[in-house]
Amino acid sequence: VQLQAYGGGLVQAGGSLRLSCAASGRTFANYFVGWFRQAPGKEREFLARFGYSDYTTYADSVKGRFTISRDSAKNTVYLQMNSLKPEDTAVYYCAADTAYIDSNYRQVKYWGQGTKVTVSS
């Protein structure tokens, strides 16, 4: 499956952005899907996932502010980000795998190209 992530940009603290991840080649219905991010000098960090039976899980750092969702008709997964903080500045990646995606990014098979989010204070 090929993943295309987009929707990043520059936003002020307290603002919102919605990231999109479109899949081609395969339907997302056959994959576990998640979002990660990587800030400069830091390891890639798990943010949110669809697990078994589409159960959603979030990292503590984004719980209550970020929401993962999907539009099956468009074969697209979204990450709605609200109440953004300067520490949310990072490159955001969507991820997919036929296996359950846990917080260990090294085990994920498919990645989008990343979309940059910058939050100004």
pLDDT for residue 27? 84
pLDDT for residue 78? 98
Is-contact 4 113, C-beta < 8 A? yes
The pLDDT profile of the chain, 121 residues, written as one tens digit per residue, is: 899 999 999 999 999 999 999 998 888 888 999 999 999 999 999 999 999 998 999 999 999 999 999 999 999 999 999 999 999 999 999 999 999 999 999 999 999 999 999 999 9
Bridge partners for 91 per DSSP: 38, 116
CA dist 67 to 10, 26, 105, Å?
19, 23, 19
Is-contact 107 96, C-beta < 8 A? no
Tokens encoding 31: 């994959």
pLDDT for residue 29? 84
The candidate with the shortest Cα–Cα distance to 37, out of 65, 74, 75, 2, is 65
**Rounded Cα–Cα distance for residues 45 and 53 (Å):** 23
Bridge partners for 20 per DSSP: 6, 78
**Rounded Cα–Cα distance for residues 108 and 87 (Å):** 24
